[in-house]
Amino acid sequence: MTDYEVEHRMNESISFSYFCGMHIDEISPDHNLK
């Protein structure tokens, strides 16, 4: 998966965000920032 795909999936799927270790109140990282 590319950084963009991971960001998109985290924004679209709560379960994927949990799988990645994010909490519901956290904002997913921006794929443009390094």
Q: What is the pLDDT of residues 4-29, one digit of tens each?
A: 788 888 888 889 888 988 888 887 77
In this prediction, residue 24 carries a pLDDT of 83
DSSP secondary structure, 9-23, as one string: HHHH-HHHHHHTT--
Return phi, psi of residue 24, to 5°.
-60, -25
Cβ(28)–Cβ(22) below 8 Å:
yes
Say whether pLDDT at 32 is over 80. Answer: no
Cβ(28)–Cβ(11) below 8 Å:
yes
Return the sign of the alpha-carbon dihedral for residues 6, 7, 10, 13.
negative
